[in-house]
Structure 1
């Protein structure tokens, strides 16, 4: 039994011409990978197939004995309004096509069309249905209890609402076969998200990760597609590519923003045609893996600058998961810190240190350019020198103080004052700055003084003058 059926629902093809049934079934599998097909040569069986199957798309011949497509179309639309019906006729008649569309048909095609063109058009109907199903699933997940998450997300420590929205979205698209683009700054955990996608999906194969940064065009082809024996000097044996190793599973292409334009063409062809050629081979192989791409770069800007193909960008971004930076997930900092300190304590065989109250305030006012990866490094470094009792803040202060400009440049630049507003006096501006520092430090003068870059006595004096 074939467990790798695509799409997740069935496509019913009804035509009294059995040779056309075979040819159209072969064509849509050849060009689009559609193999979840039910063939029907007797139009009287159509309604029973619809009642008993998981059918979302029907390809219906217009002229058939017993019951014609003209008669079946309104019945299908009335009883199964969610099904997309595509009329495929042997006659090119404008009046007939218009009438079918009015009755509710999704599209109308002539059998004499090129098989590839007809298959691509049918693929559009499949994607339309997939998006409908995903939207329904999304609405359902949003109404469910936030705690009812797949166990795969237990490895991603977060109580942030943006992250939980992403988890819900991932569950809703888990069984789609379309590519997924994961974006987010370096260190936010894009690979963890890819692993969660893999675990929530019904894929039977592995998650295979490939970092494409630094791969030239030849190495990219060899890495992904593999090669046959004798393809080039030194190719003493045939080698499977990563696509084949990910068969039945997921292929993660990390750092996709660094892919060369020449390799982008090959990746686009792979996504469009669903097949590839191992280096040195004239025999194509079909891809049987889902593609996930990840990047910390702004692909939209690269697209606008001509550094990333427009068509590939939209192919990869059919589903998009964006992971917010740690500075936008301040409520997660305490949980992550405790988790990393526990891991570090186990690794260094030490007692777990308690967290100073002021440390969390300090960390919540830091921009974390390295995101979660940077927080992990801080925790491990602090535990490496920890002796007993409360954790020293020295390691954290040292790292943050060594990067004085990061806080300024990590956030998007915007004017401090509107051009039309009246400038405050220096004293007023200083007072406002002191108040904001005290607010961010939860009234801790030592931390507020550090945020302002002045001594604690100097801050104390300013606070007295403000009273």
Structure 2
């Protein structure tokens, strides 16, 4: 059994007065992929070293001269409670084990300890401690209401509080080695989030991104794992895959929901074993690459239907970031509009044009199926076509066509309304229902008749006629 090299930065201290035990345990830990190991034959040395450095985990014997393991455990739980301790001892008494666990030990193992049992205990202890630190870190950030890495989110334009909450969560998970699943509709900024995670992680390797949609199993294997010369027809030289290119960094796989079943299994093995085989090679290569995946599909529904592996889903969902669509963060529309206008103007060598106030009303009533990416394209097109210092509202109206865009959603709402509504004994007249629709459209359009008319699917003149008729009937 191995620790699968989930973190190459772990450091372990082993405290035992028996040289043979120190050598044996250090050899087992080294074979697992952790090389930062410090041995203490004299227990009195550990407190002195802890003043200068810390450890991810301490393996501690109980029966030692000068300073017993009991005394050292008491000291550690008081002075360094953040460092987990595993007791390894020849004492088989249950009372002793219970006392050590009560004092704060993470586990109690009796000598001689089987290598697999020791590695399993170390792995579980490190994982539990990692989760505890993440929870503490997340609570701290939520309470403090501030970001430690504000600059790494500069590409994600937002003033939305839900997004700010996601940023705090992202800061906590970025330092771990666990996979991250990013979900959200198309155009919500999933790759920008993946890049932010990479930057905050402090990884020295590159950020490598690939869209896996459309890759069959052979293409997926060749793209990620690479191949050896002569592995297949056309393989005239060795080719390293993206995992190798992202060594020590982050590999971002977009559209993960489109992976074939064989490719899903291969990705699962990489995540579990941290090794992979280039095509045509029987020599495994070690991967220290952080995997981040994204999809705009409902991955949980795919798992239920059997089109996506459940074990892979749970492995990828170690951390999950779900990005809300633009229609759920409409307070971001004004800042995004300003940003894209300036960005487009600079790219075209123009002075940034202004925009009519009605434009914000128009945009806030649009569902944006393409989300932020769609808004960007709309703005770029409008700035390109702008020949004055004010953007044309008609350009946006022509493209958006609110009446058409809301049609399907509106029909769906009508069905829900019909099912849920309990009509009174006296039915409302068509005129009364029409008045209600007109009032609601005017409310949503903030009094703008042109936009309200678009919502209702009538001309502005027809709406104006109805409004005048309503006013006349009230007199």
**TM-score calculated relative to the size of structure 1:** 0.89
Worse-matched range after superposition: 368-377 or 100-109? 100-109
- Following TM superposition, by how much is the alpha carbon of 1:362 offset from its aligned partner in structure 2, in angstroms? 0.7
Worse-matched range after superposition: 277-286 or 421-430? 421-430
SS at match of 2:73: helix
Deviations 1:358-386 (A, max 9, x none): 11111110000011111111112222322
Worse-matched range after superposition: 286-295 or 111-120? 111-120
- Cα pair 1:7 1:126 within 8 Å, conserved: no
Identify the match of residue 463 of structure 2 among 425, 447, 459: 459
Give distance in 2, aligned partners of 1:411 and 1:59.
Answer: 65
Give distance in 1, aligned partners of 2:230 and 2:335.
Answer: 54
- Following TM superposition, by how much is the alpha carbon of 1:389 offset from its aligned partner in structure 2, in angstroms? 2.9
Worse-matched range after superposition: 386-395 or 92-101? 92-101
Give distance in 2, aligned partners of 1:121 and 1:230.
Answer: 44
- Indicate the residue corresponding to 1:442 in structure 2: 446
Which residues of structure 2 form unaligned runs of 5+?
Answer: none
- Following TM superposition, by how much is the alpha carbon of 1:407 offset from its aligned partner in structure 2, in angstroms? 5.6
Give distance in 1, aligned partners of 2:27 and 2:237.
Answer: 33
Deviations 1:63-88 (A, max 9, x none): 44444434433332233333322223
- Following TM superposition, by how much is the alpha carbon of 1:405 offset from its aligned partner in structure 2, in angstroms? 4.9
Matches within 5 A, 1:133-148: 133-144=133-144, 146=146
Distance 1:302-1:120 versus aligned 2 partners, 3 A rule: farther
SS at match of 1:397: helix
- Following TM superposition, by how much is the alpha carbon of 1:449 offset from its aligned partner in structure 2, in angstroms? 1.4
- Indicate the residue corresponding to 2:349 in structure 1: 349
- Indicate the residue corresponding to 1:415 in structure 2: 416
Distance 1:325-1:420 versus aligned 2 partners, 3 A rule: closer
Over aligned residues, Cα RMSD in angstroms? 2.9
- Following TM superposition, by how much is the alpha carbon of 1:112 offset from its aligned partner in structure 2, in angstroms? 5.3
Aligned residues: 463
Deviations 1:320-350 (A, max 9, x none): 2111111111111122222222232233334
Which residues of structure 1 form unaligned runs of 5+?
Answer: none
Give distance in 2, aligned partners of 1:341 and 1:409.
Answer: 29
- Cα pair 1:8 1:175 within 8 Å, conserved: no
Distance 1:293-1:345 versus aligned 2 partners, 3 A rule: same
- Cα pair 2:366 2:402 within 8 Å, conserved: no
- Indicate the residue corresponding to 1:174 in structure 2: 174
- Cα pair 1:86 1:107 within 8 Å, conserved: yes
* 4+ residue runs over 6 A deviation: 410-414
- Indicate the residue corresponding to 1:16 in structure 2: 17
- Cα pair 1:62 1:89 within 8 Å, conserved: yes
